[in-house]
Chain A
Amino acid sequence: MPSFTGPGANPHWNSVGPWVSEPQKAPLLLLTDRGVQLETPRSYFQTAFTPNHAFYVRWHLEGIPNAVDLKSWRLHVEGNVTKPISYTLADLVRKFPAESIAAVNQCTGNSRSRLQPRVPGGQWGNGAMGNARWTGVRLRDLLHAAAPKTGSLQIQFQGLESGGGPDGYGSHFFMKSLDLSNPVLDECIVAYSMNGEPLPMLNGFPIRLVVPGYFATYWMKCLTWIRVLDKKDDNFWMKTAYRVPDTARGNTTPDDVKAGIVKMIPANRMPVRSFLISPDGDAKVPAGMPVQVRGIAFSGYGGVAKVDVSADGLKTWQPARLGEDFGAYSFRAWEFTWTPKAPGHYTLAVRASDSKGNVQPDQPVWNPGGYLWNRIERQNYFVGAAE
């Protein structure tokens, strides 16, 4: 493997970093070691749920916990509220009804290494995503108990992540906010369980925010402060970072950015995507033999309606069989039986449509942050002679 890709697009499914071993993790692909950014290898997406030990990792700042003492740790609900409250982890588990949801967590910059021209940032392949069953407390229950005062506008989330930069800068604290009027708050969970187990430290132990359908930038890890604001959050991570063009698909051009004519808005829901996971093209396929082609699909706008496969360069499409439906925000596994008749070089393409009628396009996306990539994926195969 090369140690970097570019200036062309990364041609590999994953990023090209080496395998590394990190606490509570199977070997993952290294992007950076401080802050920690690790990518999930392709093979872990053969199932609808991503194992905790293989779940990708993305921190912004170097100061992340190696240990949390639950005797002193509290979740604080504070700010513009009538009743500020602090909870222990035991409080959250015992005092509130447990709610579960299967939801995809995908980095806003997943697949950034596909963009042309390339943009600086974490050079993710496709593995900055994962799906888990999250269990915890409804965010609405916590807000209701604290009783936000009238005139409240946003909810700010902050976790146990800090950096060496000066106070007041994005390099000091990582914080994200959602509008109090955003209906997604009704679906948010403060999760203490991931696939039925405590969260790995690198994925946000003891609790993280789950914002179903939204990019992972809002899913605050090691969540410790829920702060009700009476004005819009203007911290770096809302005002400057994680912003996308207010255009169709968040698409724009370097020229328009340079000209200063692109209106930017905070990233929010994840566009529909599908991935062909296996076979991965590393080995030849014998002609005439039926092969089970497998993958996953999801959409932040609601459930996957269908997945289609094309073997003729996107001219005709055939439906894939969909696996079990674990809910609107989960990965949906799919399977397709492919029988290449003769030896040759083949390309399969996969395209998902969601329940809102969004269909994956084949046009690339470009924006300065390297966000929102959801172009149709392709896989090349060599089919060999079998006799």
Chain B
Amino acid sequence: MRLVKRYFGLLFGGSLVLALAAGLLLAQVEQGSYEPSTLGRIQQSPPVALSDDSVYQVSAYPLYPPELAEGAGRAETEGFCSLCHSTRYITMQPPLPAATWEAEVTKMRKTFGAPIPDPSAALIIKYLQAHYTPDTRK
């Protein structure tokens, strides 16, 4: 009997009078709950025109640019980081300490040879620290 009350509590906001009137069947299951959804959220890859020649081909790889946090240094971050890779490399990370972000930018410049001038690098580091550390990430 407890189950009956709980279900009708859910459906009718605690109105036991209505619950009893609706009968026992409704008490055993909750039915017919749907919600509007959006079709096509994941698009299919388009087919590629094939022939019997020696070229093996796939369609272009899709880009999914993330929304970077708004703030000073965002344009430099998007511009320079995107030279080699998508900025999803930033948004994918867990919140990282400020020193780690500085080390990452230094690694991109020194180890990977990213052509980022000093003033821009300083801006990028500041931007990442302002939005992507445990204290600042939203």
| B34 located at the interface, meaning its Cβ lies under 8 Å from any Cβ of chain A in the complex | no
Q: Is B86 engaged at the interface, CB distance under 8 Å to the other chain?
A: yes
What is the minimal beta-carbon distance from A8 to any residue of chain B, in angstroms? Answer: 8
Does the CB pair B57–A66 fall under 8 Å? Answer: yes
The one of B44, B48, B55, B112 that contacts A170, using a Cβ cutoff of 8 Å = B112
Query: Chain A nearest CB: distance from B96 CB in Å?
Result: 6
Across the interface, do A62 and B94 meet the contact criterion of CB distance under 8 Å?
Answer: no
Check B61 against A33 for contact (C-beta < 8 Å).
Answer: yes
A120 to B102 CA separation, bound complex (whole angstroms): 12
Selected contact of A20 from candidates B54, B62, B93, B94, CB within 8 Å? B62
- Is B31 positioned at the interface, with any CB of A under 8 Å from its CB? no
Which residues does chain B contribute within 8 Å of A34, judged by CB atoms? 61, 63, 85-86, 88
Q: How many residues of A contact B (CB 8 A)?
A: 52
A250 within 8 A of partner (CB): no
Docked Cα-Cα span, A61 to B86, in Å, equals 10
- State whether B61 touches A118 (Cβ < 8 A): no
Contacts of B56 in A (CB 8 A): 67-70, 198, 201, 205-206
Contacts A5-B94, A67-B56, A68-B56: A21 and B85 contacting too (C-beta < 8 A)? Answer: no
Roughly how many angstroms separate A64 CA and B60 CA in the complex, as a whole number?
11
Asked if A19 is an interface residue, CB under 8 A from chain B, the answer is: yes
**Which among A158-166, A311-319, A324-332 touches the partner chain?**
A158-166
Minimum CB–CB distance from B132 to chain A (whole Å) comes to 9
With most chain B CB atoms within 10 A of its CB, the pick from A22, A30, A71, A120 is A120
Interchain nearest-CB distance for A260 vs B (Å): 15
CB nearest to B55 among chain A residues: A69
Q: Is B43 an interface residue (CB 8 A)?
A: yes
Interface size class of B (residues with CB under 8 A): 35 or more
Contacts of B62 in A (CB 8 A): 20-22, 33
A residues 223-245 near B (Cβ < 8 Å) are: 236, 240
Query: Is the C-beta of B15 less than 8 angstroms from some C-beta in chain A?
Result: no
A173 to chain B, nearest CB (A): 12
- B93 / chain A contacts, CB cutoff of 8 Å: 4, 6, 120, 123
Task: Please report which residues of chain A, range 70-112, place their CB below 8 angstroms from some CB of chain B when the two chains form the complex.
Answer: 70-71
- Closest residue on chain A to residue B137 by CB atoms: A4
Q: Is B39 an interface residue (CB 8 A)?
A: no
Q: Which of B45, B53, B84, B134 contacts A62 (CB 8 A)?
A: B84
Contact present for A36 and B61 (CB under 8 Å) = yes
**Closest B residue by C-beta to A385:** B3
| Distance A193 CA – B88 CA, assembled complex (angstroms) | 32
CB-defined contacts of A205 to chain B, threshold 8 Å: 56
Q: Which residues on A sit within 8 Å (CB–CB) of B85?
A: 32, 34-35, 62
Q: Tell me which residues across on chain B come within 8 A of A165, comparing CB atoms.
A: 84, 112-114
A17, B43: Cβ atoms under 8 Å?
no
Is A279's beta carbon under 8 Å from chain B?
no
Contacts of B45 in A (CB 8 A): 21-25
> With A and B bound together, what is the CA distance between A66 and B86 in angstroms?
18
* Given contacts A6-B95, A31-B88, A120-B93, A164 and B83 within 8 Å (CB-CB): yes
Interface string of B63-88 (1 = CB under 8 A from A): 11100000000000000000111101
Q: Are A31's CB and B92's CB within 8 A?
A: yes
- The reply to whether B63 and A33 contact each other, CB–CB distance below 8 Å, is yes
Which chain B residues lie closer than 8 Å to A278 at the CB level?
A: none
A66 contacts B61, C-beta separation under 8 Å: yes
Q: Which of A3, A70, A118 contacts B54 (CB 8 A)?
A: A70
Q: Does B17 contact A (CB under 8 A)?
A: no
CB distance from A83 to the nearest CB of B (A): 26
Cα of A201 to Cα of B111 in the assembled complex, Å: 29
Q: In the complex, what residues of B have CB within 8 A of residue A364's CB?
A: none
Residues 90-109 of B, flagged 1 when their CB comes within 8 A of A and 0 if not, give: 01111110001000100000
Nearest 9 interchain pairs by C-beta: A6-B94, A23-B58, A171-B112, A71-B54, A67-B57, A34-B86, A169-B113, A118-B94, A166-B113
Known: A21-B43, A24-B58, A171-B114. 16 other contacts (CB 8 A): A4-B91, A4-B94, A7-B94, A10-B94, A20-B62, A21-B44, A22-B62, A25-B45, A33-B62, A34-B88, A35-B86, A70-B54, A70-B56, A71-B53, A71-B55, A170-B111
Q: List 25 A-B contacts (CB under 8 A).
A: A4-B94, A19-B42, A21-B62, A23-B59, A33-B86, A33-B88, A34-B85, A64-B61, A66-B58, A66-B59, A66-B60, A67-B55, A67-B58, A69-B54, A71-B54, A71-B55, A113-B94, A118-B95, A123-B92, A123-B94, A164-B83, A164-B84, A169-B112, A198-B56, A206-B56
